[in-house]
């Protein structure tokens, strides 16, 4: 029996697609996910932890490895082996950490001879490292042959001000319908957040990071995700993992959740006590 | 898909008046819903914009040579897109609804930048539809002395179609390489937003790819009609149509890699990190799949030409070259598909002694790949040249000199391509990138020069016999189907590549995707989606083919564009 033409060409088409699909499924499967935000602003972090966090950024979110190698010459960007020792001698009047920070935040200011001026600003999108991350990677680069002496105060306050998303298209103020004052009550009461987190003079906990500036250093998306699914958002360096309860999504009502996030979004440092000006 | 939306209607109603960034498309998820609809829409759009480009050229050939078979062929090609027009518009509308409904924040930002162009797009789409319909339905009315008006309509429809393509490309490319905005994302210059770094490269690339796609789908239609034909006459007619469709597709396909390099270069110039991530990062395996698909396309196109030579008396003298051509193609294919900077497992890395193979890794760099693709193009062009002169013997006194110059040109071009390919290993990457320009110029120059000699050399040539249209082996028609399916799959893969290089950004570096679906899926998942999209697209195309064939039943004889007899009657295979 001779199959109809439509059947024959359909079988051929499906077989071809089957081969292509099978091949694509048999090679290494790599998914690309947005990098997690690192927050170190509590200051409770050792140099070793800082360097380790910086190394993670070097290989991950920072995408430094795309052009830079350590201990291996490259044609796109300098080999970073020994940069911690070399940095202090690059520019007269600039300390090693200052030079590294300049190289990260304003890479075009000094371009190593023989290399093209192609490096993007590390704290601006699309890389968009935040202040903590700039601190960590500076420490990591210092550790490559030098001494780690960079502190959070050395990092300009403006670093990472572009935020994870960059321009206004991304960092539009989130207009939550929540009541920040009611959210503060949740923070101090039903949520029990104060037991682990400090917020200005309120709260005494040191189990989790100090949240006094959380709205300044983190995105609304991160804060919302962290309350609902803390494990998925990663653990702040220097703090033990899996301590924050995973159950706020069930124990808080929708209103309490929105109020709590609204409250957290008012925490921008500055004033000593939490304010309610963020009620939107 | 539409029914799946009903359960979420109450939720959507509750959200009315609130500002939301995302809504979740039921069952599929918003990302997959947009992906599927956008890709099917793009496939249809490529088809309806590509076919008129070559149809009007074929019509002009028929008009100037007064050969009715070309006029019939142009009409037959345009007939295919008429039914596809409404489905393209419908899918475009559906895509718009999904974007507005499920990505309102992105849509709001994009419309803030590009709103003036939306009007332009709407007007152009109306003009394009109006002109194409008038072009098709006025075929008989505007014949004879009014033919110039008819041809002008065809040209006009192409101008409108190209303008539509350019406008839509501005939106898509802005998302990849935004420009014309300040650091905060506020619009500074609409023209700069349109004329962003990847706009013109994508315009060129898509224009050529549309012609390839339109040609190969028309060839697949002809293959289907050939295989379903009940008479010799019909088989001959659709054999010729399939040949012409494939000829159009391959002609544009030969230039497409150069457009691809142009696009790649502009991506690197816009953002080195994006370029490197695209070629050596998590997408590196994608280019191996692409190389395999393109290798299949080259081998299949050549195989189709070689099968076609069997129906040409006199072609026997060239058949002995086929094994050598095949060897060159196979070697070029293997080089192009050799990986180098790959994401590998630790075990694989240890086994190879590094991130790439100690010997074969040298074939994986751009020097080798550029050389391979240029040699593949030269070989395919040579296959076409042999096909073209298969039944012809030049009567020109200077034929010997002409052929010597032609062969010398091939030899010089191959030498230039190989020389720069080898020399590329010894220079910096910045210098090496420039070498590809010399290789491309050598190949393009060869195509132009050889054809410039070939056309006059074989004008008025002695024939060794007419082409026996319809006598080609039926397996050749399956080759055309395979080419069409592979091209469609490749388009889906390239669509995924273009979207995935934005990584987790809606608009690269400006608006991050903060939805739970942010990021790019693995290639296996992407391949599953691409296959699904290709199946749906081809089901719709088959429906359109069926509609087109319905129109022919019982009408052909009454129609002024009744099919001409081409069996054995076409001496010129061009």
- Among A30, A116, A170, the residue with its CB nearest the CB of B511 is A170
Q: What dihedral do alpha carbons B179, B184, B190, B193 form, nearest 10°?
A: 20
Question: Of the given ranges (A6-20, A205-219, B74-88, B223-237), which has the lowest mean pLDDT?
Answer: A205-219
Is residue A49 less than 8 Å (CB to CB) from chain B? no
Q: How many CB atoms lie within 10 A of CB B89?
A: 16
Q: Which of B104, B110, B180, B185 to mutate to test the interface with A (most CBs of A within 10 A)?
A: B185
**What average pLDDT does this structure show over B86-98?**
93
The CA distances from residue A5 to A12, B323, B471, in Å, are 11, 31, 18
Q: What is the largest CA-CA distance in chain A?
A: 88
Q: Do B523 and A166 touch (CB under 8 A)?
A: no
Tokens of A220: 């609304």
Q: Is B473 left (phi over 0), alpha (psi -120 to 50) or beta?
A: beta
Alpha-carbon distance of B95 to B89, in angstroms, equals: 10
Q: How far apart are CA B19 and CA A280, in angstroms?
A: 13
Question: How far apart are the CA of B208 and the nearest CA of chain A, in angstroms?
Answer: 24
Q: What separation, in Å, do the N-terminal and C-terminal C-alpha atoms of chain A show?
A: 74
Q: What is the ipTM of this complex?
A: 0.88
Chain-chain contact of B509 with A125 (C-beta, under 8 angstroms): yes
Are the C-beta atoms of B120 and B190 separated by less than 8 Å? no
B341 pLDDT band (50/70/90 cuts)?
low
**pLDDT score of B476:** 96
Picking from B185, B530, B534, the nearest residue to A168 by CB comes out as B185
Tell me whether A228 touches chain B (CB under 8 Å): no
Contact (CB<8Å) B486/A16: yes
Listed range (A15-24, A194-203, B535-544) with the worst mean pLDDT: A194-203
Rounded distance, CA B369 to CA B376, Å? 10
Mean pLDDT confidence for B24-40: 92
CB-based contact A27 B288, cutoff 8 Å:
yes
Average pLDDT over residues B257-278: 84
Each residue's pLDDT tens digit, B117-141: 999 999 999 999 999 999 999 999 9
Output the six-digit token pair for B398: 């200077």
> Which 171-190 residues of chain A touch chain B by CB within 8 A?
175, 177
Chain B residues 344-363 with CB within 8 Å of chain A: 344-345
CA A115 → CA A83, B457, B563, distances in Å?
Answer: 16, 52, 65
B279 has pLDDT over 70: yes
pLDDT class of B326 with cuts at 50, 70, 90: very high
Residue pLDDT, tens place only, A62-115: 888 878 888 877 777 889 998 998 888 888 888 888 999 999 999 988 888 888
Q: Which residues from chain A sit within 8 angstroms of residue B114, using beta carbons?
A: none
Could you tell me the sign of the dihedral formed by the alpha carbons of B30, B33, B36, B37, in that order?
negative
Compare CB distances from B109 to A6, A26, A169 and report the shortest one's residue.
A169
CB-nearest partner of A9 from B224, B345, B528: B224
Contact A167 B527 (CB under 8 A): no
Token pair, residue B87, equals 């489905």
C-alpha dihedral over B293, B299, B300, B302, to 10 degrees? 140
pLDDT at position A104: 92
What tens digit of pLDDT does each residue of B558-573 get? 444 555 656 543 444 4
| Band (B553; pLDDT cuts 50, 70, 90) | low
Give me the pLDDT at residue B559, please.
Answer: 44
What whole-number percentage of chain B has pLDDT above 90? Answer: 62
- Residue B9: predicted pLDDT: 56
Any idea which of A85-99, A168-182, A247-261, B75-89 has the lowest mean pLDDT? A168-182
Does residue A182 carry a pLDDT above 80?
yes
| Cβ-contact B43, B537 below 8 angstroms | yes
Q: Is the pLDDT of residue B350 over 90?
A: no
CA distance B531 to chain A (A): 6
Long-range CB contacts (within 8 A, 24+) of A198-205: A199/A267, A199/A274, A200/A267, A200/A271, A200/A272, A200/A273, A200/A274, A201/A272, A201/A273, A202/A273, A202/A274
**Binary contact (A9, B182; C-beta < 8 A):** no
pLDDT tens across B441-485, in order?
999 999 999 999 999 999 988 988 888 999 999 999 999 999 999
Q: Which two tokens mark B244?
A: 């012409």
Query: What is the rounded distance in angstroms from the CA atom of residue B414 to the CA atom of residue B542?
Result: 42
Residue bearing the bigger pLDDT, A228 or B173: B173
Tell me what pLDDT residue B340 has: 65
Nearest CA-CA distance, residue B553 and chain A, Å: 18
Comparing A102-106, B16-20, B360-364, B504-508, which segment has the lowest mean pLDDT?
B16-20
What's the confidence (pLDDT) of residue A277? 37
The kind and range of the H/E element at B166 are: helix B147-176
Which chain A positions have a beta carbon within 8 Å of B227's beta carbon? 5, 8-9
Asked whether A78 and A107 are in contact (CB, 8 A), the reply is: no
A133–chain B nearest CA distance, Å: 18
Q: Are B46 and B162 in contact (CB under 8 A)?
A: no
What's the pLDDT score for residue A89?
86
pLDDT at B3 over 80: no
Which string of DSSP letters, residue by residue, matches B224-277? HHHHH--SHHHHHHHHHHHHHHHHHHHHHHHHHHHHHHHHHHHHHHH-HHHHHH
Confidence at residue B11, expressed as pLDDT on a 0 to 100 scale: 57
Chain A neighbors of B524, CB-CB under 8 A:
24-27, 29
Closest CA to B489 of A16, A27, A9: A16
pLDDT bracket for residue B13 (50, 70, 90): low
CB B463 within 8 A of CB B392: yes
Which residues of B fall within a CB distance of 8 Å from A175?
19
Q: Which residue(s) pair with A202 in the sheet?
A: A199
Tokens of residue B94, six digits: 């559906």
Mean pLDDT of B58-66: 92
Query: pLDDT tens across B164-205, in order?
Result: 999 999 999 999 999 999 878 889 999 999 999 999 999 999
Residues 92-111 of B with CB under 8 A from A: 109
Q: What is the DSSP string of A169-180?
A: TT-PPP-----H
CA distance B226 to B241: 9
Q: Which of the residue ranges A49-63, B84-98, B156-170, B540-554 would you say has the lowest mean pLDDT?
A: B540-554
R_g over Cα of chain A: 24
Q: How distant, in Å, are the alpha carbons of A119, A230, B273, B441 from that of A101? A: 13, 31, 20, 45
Rg of chain B over all Cα atoms, to the nearest angstrom = 25
The helix/strand/coil state of B148 is: helix
Q: Do B535 and A14 touch (CB under 8 A)?
A: yes
Locate B325 and state its tokens: 């051509």
Closest approach of chain B CAs to the CA of A93, in angstroms?
A: 30
Degrees, nearest 5: CA angle B120-B124-B125: 120
Chain-chain contact of B109 with A16 (C-beta, under 8 angstroms): no
CB pairs under 8 A between A and B: 167
Chain A CB within 8 Å of residue B518 CB: yes
pLDDT of residue B430: 63
Give the tokens for residue A264. Answer: 């957290």
Over residues A116-149, the pLDDT tens digits come to 888 888 888 888 888 888 999 999 999 998 888 8
Nearest-Cα residue of chain A relative to residue B503: A32
* A250–chain B Cβ distance below 8 A for any pair: no
A11 and chain B in contact, CB less than 8 A: no
Spell A253-267 as b/e; 16+ CB within 10 A means b: eeebbbbbbbbbbbb
For B34-49, write each residue's pLDDT tens digit: 999 999 999 999 999 9
pLDDT at B560: 46
Averaged confidence pLDDT in chain B: 87
Chain B partners of A13 at a C-beta cutoff of 8 Å? 481-482, 485, 534, 538
Decide: helix, strand or coil at residue B393: strand
Q: Which of residues 95-114 of A touch B (CB under 8 A)?
A: none
DSSP states of B480-529 as a string? HHHHHHHHHHHHHHHHHHHHHTTTTEEETTTEE--STT-SB--HHHHHHH
Chain B contact present for A59, CB below 8 A: no
Residue A31: its pLDDT value, please? 84
Range with lowest mean pLDDT among A47-61, B154-168, B343-357: B343-357
pLDDT classification of B282: cutoffs 50, 70, 90: confident
The pLDDT score that the predictor gives to residue B339 is 72
pLDDT for position B106: 93
List of chain B residues whose C-beta atoms are within 8 Å of the C-beta of residue A17: 485, 489, 531, 534-535
Interface of A with B in 129-168 (CB under 8 A): 162, 164-168
Average pLDDT over residues A18-38: 87
- As given in the structure block, the two tokens for residue B474 are 């039926």
Q: Domains for chain A: give ranges and CATH numbers.
A: 47-154 (1.10.760.10), 180-264 (1.10.760.10)
Distance CA A274, CA B143 (A): 81
Q: In this complex, is the C-beta atom of B433 within 8 Å of any C-beta atom belonging to chain A?
A: no
Chain A residues in contact with B428 (beta carbon < 8 A): 75
Residues B406-418, mean pLDDT to the nearest whole number: 95
The residue among B78 and A93 whose pLDDT is bigger is: B78
pTM, full prediction: 0.80
Q: For residue B185, give the nearest of A27, A164, A166 by CB distance.
A: A166
Distance CA(B395)–CA(B569), nearest Å, equals 21
Q: What percentage of chain B exceeds 70 in pLDDT?
A: 89
A199 has which bridge partners? Answer: A202
CA A210 to chain CA centroid, Å, is 17
Residue A71 near chain B (CB below 8 Å): no
Distance from the Cα of B316 to chain A's closest Cα (Å) equals 30
Residue with tokens 């709260």: A203
B311-320, B342-351, B390-399: the lowest-pLDDT one: B342-351
Chain B residues touching residue A161 (CB < 8 angstroms): none
Q: How confident is the model at residue B338 (pLDDT cuts 50, 70, 90)?
A: confident
């Amino acid at each position: 029996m001779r199959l109809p033409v439509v059947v024959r060409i359909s079988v051929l088409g499906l077989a071809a697609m089957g081969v292509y699909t099978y091949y694509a499924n048999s090679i290494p499967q790599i998914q690309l996910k947005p990098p997690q935000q690192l927050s170190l602003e509590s200051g409770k972090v050792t140099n070793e932890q800082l360097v380790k966090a910086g190394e993670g950024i070097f290989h991950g979110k920072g995408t430094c490895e795309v052009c830079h190698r350590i201990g291996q010459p490259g044609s796109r960007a300098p080999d970073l082996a020994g940069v911690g020792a070399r940095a202090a001698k690059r520019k007269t009047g600039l300390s090693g950490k200052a030079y590294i920070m300049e190289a990260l935040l304003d890479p075009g200011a000094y371009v190593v001879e023989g290399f093209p001026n192609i490096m993007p600003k590390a704290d601006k999108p699309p890389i968009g490292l935040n202040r903590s991350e700039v601190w960590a990677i500076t420490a990591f680069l210092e550790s490559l042959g030098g001494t780690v002496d960079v502190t959070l105060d050395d990092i300009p306050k403006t670093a990472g001000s572009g935020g994870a998303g960059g321009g206004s298209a991304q960092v539009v103020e989130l207009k939550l319908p929540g009541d920040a004052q009611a959210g503060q009550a949740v923070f101090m009461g039903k949520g029990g957040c104060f037991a682990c987190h400090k917020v200005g003079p309120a709260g005494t906990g040191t189990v989790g990071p100090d949240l006094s500036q959380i709205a300044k250093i983190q995105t609304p998306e991160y804060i919302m995700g962290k309350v609902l699914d803390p494990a998925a958002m990663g653990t702040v360096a220097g703090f033990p993992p899996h301590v924050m309860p995973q159950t706020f999504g069930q124990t808080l009502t929708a209103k309490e959740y929105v109020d709590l996030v609204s409250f957290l979004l008012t925490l921008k440092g500055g004033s000593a006590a939490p304010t309610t000006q963020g009620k939107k | 898909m539409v029914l799946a939306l009903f359960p979420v209607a109450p939720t959507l109603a509750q959200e009315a008046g609130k500002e939301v960034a995302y809504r979740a498309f039921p069952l599929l998820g918003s990302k997959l819903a947009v992906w599927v609809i956008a890709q099917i829409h793009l496939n249809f759009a490529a088809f309806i914009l590509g076919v008129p480009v070559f149809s009007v050229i074929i019509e002009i050939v028929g008009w100037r040579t007064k050969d009715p078979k070309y006029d019939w062929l142009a009409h037959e090609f345009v007939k295919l897109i008429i039914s596809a027009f409404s489905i393209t518009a419908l899918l475009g509308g559906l895509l718009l609804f999904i974007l507005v409904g499920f990505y309102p924040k992105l849509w709001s930002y994009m419309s803030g930048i590009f709103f003036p162009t939306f009007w332009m797009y709407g007007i152009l789409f109306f003009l394009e539809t109006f002109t194409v319909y008038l072009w098709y339905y006025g075929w008989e009315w505007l014949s004879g002395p009014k033919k110039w008006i008819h041809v002008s309509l065809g040209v006009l429809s192409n101008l409108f179609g190209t303008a539509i393509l350019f406008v839509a490309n501005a939106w898509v490319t802005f998302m990849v390489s935004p420009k014309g905005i300040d650091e905060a994302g506020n619009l500074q210059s609409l023209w700069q937003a349109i004329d962003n770094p990847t706009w013109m490269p994508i315009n060129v690339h898509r224009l050529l790819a549309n012609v390839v796609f339109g040609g190969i789908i028309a060839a697949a239609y002809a293959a289907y009609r050939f295989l379903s034909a009940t008479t010799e006459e019909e088989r001959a007619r659709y054999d010729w149509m399939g040949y012409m469709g494939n000829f159009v597709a391959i002609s544009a396909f030969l230039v497409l890699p150069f457009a691809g390099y142009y696009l790649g270069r502009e991506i690197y110039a816009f953002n080195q990190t994006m370029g490197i991530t695209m070629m050596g990062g998590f997408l590196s395996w994608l280019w191996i799949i692409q190389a395999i698909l393109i290798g299949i396309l080259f081998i299949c196109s050549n195989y189709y030409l070689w099968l076609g030579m069997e129906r040409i008396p006199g072609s026997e003298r060239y058949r002995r070259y086929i094994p050598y051509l095949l060897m060159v193609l196979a070697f070029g294919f293997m080089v192009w598909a050799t990986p180098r900077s790959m994401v590998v497992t630790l075990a694989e890395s240890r086994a190879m002694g590094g991130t790439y193979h100690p010997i074969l890794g040298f074939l994986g760099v751009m020097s080798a790949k550029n050389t391979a693709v240029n040699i593949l193009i030269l070989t395919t062009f040579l296959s076409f040249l042999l096909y073209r002169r298969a039944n012809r013997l030049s009567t020109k006194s200077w034929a010997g000199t002409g052929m010597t110059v032609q062969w010398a040109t091939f030899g010089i071009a191959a030498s230039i391509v190989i020389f720069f390919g080898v020399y590329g290993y010894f220079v910096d990457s910045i210098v090496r990138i420039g070498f590809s320009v010399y290789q491309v110029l050598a190949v393009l120059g060869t195509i132009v020069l050889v054809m410039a000699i070939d056309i006059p050399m074989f004008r008025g040539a002695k024939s060794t016999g007419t082409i026996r249209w319809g006598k080609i082996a039926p397996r050749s028609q399956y080759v055309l189907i395979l080419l069409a399916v592979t091209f469609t799959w490749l388009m889906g893969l390239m669509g995924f590549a273009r979207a995935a290089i934005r990584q987790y950004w809606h608009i690269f570096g400006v608006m991050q995707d903060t939805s739970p679906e942010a990021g790019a899926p693995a290639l296996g998942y992407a391949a599953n989606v691409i296959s699904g999209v290709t199946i749906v697209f081809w089901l719709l195309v088959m429906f359109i083919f069926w509609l087109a064939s319905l129109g022919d039943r019982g009408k052909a004889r009454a129609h002024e564009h009744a099919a001409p007899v081409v069996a054995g009657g076409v001496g010129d295979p061009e």
